[in-house]
Amino acid sequence: MVFDRKEYYRFYSEENPNYYKEYYKKNKDKIKEASKKWKQENKDKAYATRKKLESTPGWILKKKAYLEKHKDRANALRRKNRKRKYLEDKDYWKKEAAKKSPATITKERVRNILIGMNVRPTKPEQIMID
């Protein structure tokens, strides 16, 4: 027997306010099984419709347009996150500089990276490389 929501709510009355609990206790397995099946069906449907939608040319154009429009915002978020990392980890800029060019790290290059991250070094120690 498949779990039936109508049946679940049909017999509720003022005289028996604990009906839901009793029904759940009796049919716990059926309810869980039915909800799992229902969730899976919905997931499959959603996935199929999404795939179908994404393959249409209009959708692809919209997606490209959206990405183009919000490119600056994405870059700004990236910069903001880099800045946050820098503030949390004081050696972050050294690591970042080492990533860019591990062979030669000049003070100028580090300064440029910091400026790109919108972090203006105020103390000379911030520019010094150990």
What band does 69 get if pLDDT is binned at 50, 70 and 90? confident
User: What's the mean per-residue pLDDT of the chain?
Assistant: 73
Q: What percent of the chain has pLDDT over 90?
A: 2
Taking the C-alpha atoms of 54, 57, 59 and 65 in order, what is their torsion angle to the nearest 10 degrees? 130
Per DSSP, the residues of 78-114 read: HHHHHHHHHHH-TTHHHHHHHHH-SS---HHHHHHHH
Taking each helix axis from N to C terminus, what angle separates 71-88 and 92-100, rounded to the nearest 10 degrees?
A: 120
Whether 39 has a pLDDT exceeding 80, the answer reads yes
CA distance 17 to 20: 7
The tokens describing 44, both together, are: 């499959």
User: How many Å separate Cα 65 from the centre of its chain?
Assistant: 21
Band (pLDDT 50/70/90 cuts) for residue 130 is: very low
Confidence of residue 7 (pLDDT cuts 50, 70, 90): low
Query: Distance between CA atoms of 54 and 69, rounded to whole angstroms?
Result: 19
pLDDT in tens, 101-122: 555 566 776 777 777 666 665 5
